[in-house]
Amino acid sequence: MPKIAIIGGTGVHGKDAFKVESTVYPDTPYGKPSDKIQIGKFNGVDVAFLYRHAEDHHINPTNVPYRANIWALKELGVKMVISACAVGSLKEEYAPGDLVIVDDFIDFTKRRDLTFTDKSAIHISLPEPFCPHMSEVFGDAAKELNIKYHQGGTYICIEGPRFSTRAESNMFRNFADIIGMTLVPECQLTKELGMCYCSLATITDYDMWKDEPVDTHMVKKVMAENSKHIVNLLKNGIPKIAFDKCDCEADARNAGSVKLKV
Which residue in the list 27, 205, 211, 244 is annotated as catalytic? 205
Would 260 be classed as within a structural domain?
no
Would 261 be classed as within a structural domain?
no
Q: What's the pLDDT at 14?
A: 62
pLDDT tens per residue across span 170-206? 999 999 999 999 999 999 999 999 999 999 999 999 9
Catalytic site includes residue 113: no
Which residue in the list 35, 103, 207, 251 is annotated as catalytic? 207
Indicate whether 261 pLDDT > 90.
no
User: How many domains are contained in the chain?
Assistant: 1
Domain containing residue 168: CATH number: 3.40.50.1580
Would 18 be classed as within a structural domain?
yes
Q: What is the pTM of this model?
A: 0.93
| Separation between Cα atoms, residue 235 and residue 230, nearest integer Å | 9
Would 69 be classed as within a structural domain?
yes
For residue 81, the enclosing domain spans 4-254
pLDDT tens per residue across span 199-240? 999 999 999 998 777 888 888 888 888 888 999 999 999 999
Would 259 be classed as within a structural domain?
no
Contact 211, 112 (CB under 8 A): no
Would 19 be classed as within a structural domain?
yes
Catalytic site includes residue 211: no
